[in-house]
Structure 1
Amino acid sequence: MQAETTAQEDSGANAPRYDLRQIDCDPNFWYPVAWSRKVRPGKAFAARYAGQPIALIRPEYGPVYALEDRCAHRQVPLSKGVVDDKGCVKCCYHGWAFNQQGHCVTVPYLNREDVGRPVRAFPCREKSGLIFIFPGDPALADSVPVPDIAQVGNPEYKTRQFNPRLKCHYTFMHENLMDMNHQFLHRRQMGSITARFLGQDRGENFLEARYSFARTAGNQPLAEALIFGRHHDLEGREQPVEEVVSIRTTYPYQTLQIHDKDGDLIMDLWVCYVPLGETQQITQAFGLLSVKKPKWAFLLDLAWPALGLFTHRIFEEDREIVEMEQAAWRELGGDHNIEVFPVVRNLRTLLATHGVPNRYAQPLAATAQATAG
């Protein structure tokens, strides 16, 4: 499908057929489940993906691997176990040992190999300070690339990590970042600032929207200037486009990039919203924010704590909103949102067509009839 730059929205024929909040992430992608620094050599670490407990094991030598976090014997978490000198994880209960393929290699009190049942092993990769698993069909793992992440490793940028947990479906987070028209929410942090929609591009697996920002009144916070550039109140005159903010969902990941008036990348955000519970209404976000270093790099180092506090406050306002949206969905028994912005309507279609309706999902027509009754 070719990209397009209009604000046209999908026709009704392509609209979601199920309540978007009942559509799970497609498991046939690489999802981060832990920061590399959390999984120490010779240790096991407990993680989760969509209700599935995951044990991450890092041998003293060799790459990290991932197993179902349940011993095949009595379902005790393998993450509570011991990593032996062969790199196998031994259950803390009876000492059953499992290798990186999930095979039970030892049931110690029987003095025999291949007696116990195996556990599920997940394809596992490590990149940019994150540990990824492939929770879908393992035969597809090698054909799906692990994503490139912000500017991690680029010495021209300074990068920070964040990993908030949110009580909402992952789709709320995609919508929140994609729709920059909600700056009124952040008025206490950013003052009087407005977003101007510049257009969108669409493809088979992505949607990108572009904006510029203008200050309509008041002084600009220093931390905001570091992110969006220096904007002044022009006393009613239109703010020129000096920076372009591009938000892109390339399923299932999301990015936000800021380019200055010369086209240079000055900020690069990458984020993945990982579902935790079975119904995917609790989300663990893994994000990395890279900021281009100025000529005098120490200035960014000095401002780094203030920038972190600023972005934290902005996110906490977003968190409160998306969790209220999720609460309303529960109270109303479904998605009653009236969406008028074509970009978000297109985003909802993208998420719905690439996701997987869960076992609770009902067709929208049936949902509407039940609500009316």
Structure 2
Amino acid sequence: MESSIGEVAEAATALETGAAHRDIRKTALDPNFWYPVARSAEVRAGKAHSCSFAGAPIVLARGKQGAAFALEDRCAHRQAPLSAGVVEGERIRCGYHGWAYDASGACVFVPYAAECSRAAPGVRSYPCREAYGLVFVFPGDPALAALAPFPDVPSANDRRYKIRYLNRRAQCHYSFMHENLMDMNHQFLHRRLMGGIKTYFLGNRSGDGWAEATYSFRRVSGRQPLGENFILNRGQWRWKRAPLSAEALATPPGDRMVIRTDYPYQSLKFWIAGASEPALDLWNCYIPVDRAQRINHTFGMIMIKRPKHRFLLDLLWPAIVWFTNGIFAEDRWICELEQAAFDAQGEDRNQEIFPAILDLRRVLVENGLPLETRRG
């Protein structure tokens, strides 16, 4: 039996064990935030699209007037998925008996008992918004939706940036993804794609609900991939690595990368030395798919600033896609191996020493909910 998101929140208030003692891999994401659950392009007019948040099935539909709405993906009648039904005008009809629901979740028509339609039970509706080419829902208490801050991603609306959308699934708890991006000391993982990279950790900061770290990098061996070269060097084609002195190795370059988790979202910005605006601006959200929250779906955007000759970015886009696909594949592979280790051990046994990750883990646990209280 699936338990509702509301049950998770209610159970959290009864938890006796403090958050500080909770296993991070047994921490559920707080549903009282706006979460992307689909690309806008996936929710076509007159069509239904199925998705989920932490095991709660959700159907997205786009009515004739163009606005998307979100409902529980179960017909109140026989529990058949509404996503298997038909979108007609501004309502969705179950494909089994034809019960029709409007955007508020109210049952507005029962074909064989029209006089009883108003008495028929409805289904849950979710607050729904579209922005940045993504469809967001608020899976928590709907009374809190208007008070919850909506993600602010200025580069996504800036025509000087070209967007690559991220839409991929990983078989691991969302916390592994946060840690992977925050900890840039894992460049050895990407040695085949990127060559030898020396990471300079320039400090970390944290507060209530957020943590961030700053880095710089220097290539010490190998050649830079074409996609990475264009993103970070703005087409200045620095293919060959200059000989590195001991002094050069000891001094970080002027480029800066800041990675930040603003619970529950994560961002990465990269500034070329002397630049006032980032050359690369990434925004991610990791959505728990299943009830156990050991599968996550990443919805995000890589926003790359166009160079002076704008056509160059379009010309080299396939190389950028190839490079980023390779990086993401390696990250997913290692995070899924981490999840496998957790599954085998039954608990988080990580011996973490890096201050940026210690801050991040605190933020995720303190702002999350106890996963273990969910009723079976």
Question: What is the TM-score when the length of structure 2 is the normalising length?
Answer: 0.89
2:246 is aligned with 1:242: no
SS at match of 1:75: coil
Deviation at 1:265, TM superposition (A): 1.3
Q: Pairwise mapping of residues 221-370 of structure 1 onto structure 2 (< 5 A)?
A: 221-229=225-233, 230=238, 232-236=241-245, 237-238=248-249, 240-262=252-274, 263-359=276-372
- Structure 2 Cα separation of the partners of residues 96 and 115 of structure 1: 12
Pick aligned residue for 1:98 from 78, 97, 101? 101
* Cα distance in 2, alignment partners of residues 150 and 314 from structure 1: 25
The residue type paired with residue 247 of structure 1 is I
Picking from 208, 211, 214, the partner of 2:212 is: 208
Query: Which among 143, 154, 158 is matched to residue 158 of structure 2?
Result: 154
Q: Offset of 1:149 from its aligned partner?
A: 3.0
CA deviation after TM superposition for structure 1 residue 227, in Å: 3.1
Deviations 1:225-279 (A, max 9, x none): 2233358343233254231011000000000000121133111000100000001
Gaps of at least 5 residues in structure 2 are 1-17
Distance 1:83 1:218, change over 3 A: closer
For the 8 Å contact 2:225–2:323, the answer to whether it is kept is no
**Partners of 1:224 and 1:274 in 2: how far apart?**
27
> Structure 2 residue aligned with 1:189, among 185, 189, 193?
193
**1:175 partnered with 2:187:** no
Measure the CA separation in 1 of the matches of 2:255 and 2:165: 24
Q: What is the deviation of 1:150?
A: 5.8
Aligned length: 347
Identify the match of residue 54 of structure 1 among 58, 81, 85: 58
> C-alpha distance in 2, partners of 1:218/1:53?
47
Distance in 2 separating the partners of 1:74 and 1:174:
39
| 1:106–1:115 CA contact under 8 A, matched in 2 | no
Secondary structure of 1:314's aligned partner: helix
Distance in 2 separating the partners of 1:26 and 1:273: 12
CA deviation vs aligned residue, 1:157-206 (integer Å, no higher than 9, x gap): 11111211000000000000000000111110110111101112212111
Q: Give unmatched runs, 5+ long, in structure 1.
A: 1-13, 362-373
**1:78 counterpart (63, 75, 82):** 82
Q: Secondary structure at the match of 1:151?
A: helix
Cα distance in 1, alignment partners of residues 193 and 230 from structure 2: 14
**Counterpart residue identity of residue 321, structure 1:** I
- Describe the shift of the 1:141–1:60 C-alpha distance in structure 2 as closer, same or farther (beyond 3 A): same
Residues 139/213 of structure 1: CA separation in 2 closer, same or farther (3 Å cut): same
- Is 1:89 equivalent to 2:92 in the alignment? yes
Match for residue 3 of structure 2? none
Whether the 8 Å contact between 2:171 and 2:339 is mirrored in structure 1 is yes
In structure 2, distance between residues paired with 1:135 and 1:68: 10
Could you tell me how far apart the structure 2 residues matched to 1:198 and 1:343 are?
11
- Superposed counterparts of 1:118-129, under 5 Å: 118-129=122-133
Contact 1:22 1:360 in 2 (8 A): no
Which moves more between the two structures, 145-154 or 190-199? 145-154
Residue 219 of structure 1, CA deviation: 2.5
Asked if 2 retains the 8 angstrom alpha-carbon contact of 1:56 and 1:66, the reply is yes
Task: Tell whether the 8 Å contact from 1:107 to 1:115 is kept in structure 2 after alignment.
Answer: no
Q: Partner letter of residue 242 of structure 1? A: G
Which residue of 129, 134, 149 maps to 1:130? 134
| 1:32 matches 2:36 | yes
How far apart are 1:299 and its partner, in Å? 1.4
Shift of 1:290: 0.7
Q: Does residue 17 of structure 1 match 2:27? A: no
Counterparts of 1:156 and 1:141 in 2: how far apart (Å)? 31
CA distance in 2, matches of 1:62, 1:246: 37
How far apart are residue 344 of structure 1 and its match? 0.3
Report the AA paired with residue 165 of structure 1: R
Q: Give the whole-Å Cα distance in 1 for the aligned partners of 2:148 and 2:129.
A: 12
The letter of the residue matching 2:284 is: V
Aligned-residue CA RMSD (Å):
1.6
Letter in 1 for 2:144: L
Structure 1 window deviating more from structure 2 (206-215 vs 109-118): it is 109-118
> C-alpha separation between the residues in 2 aligned to 1:130 and 1:31?
9
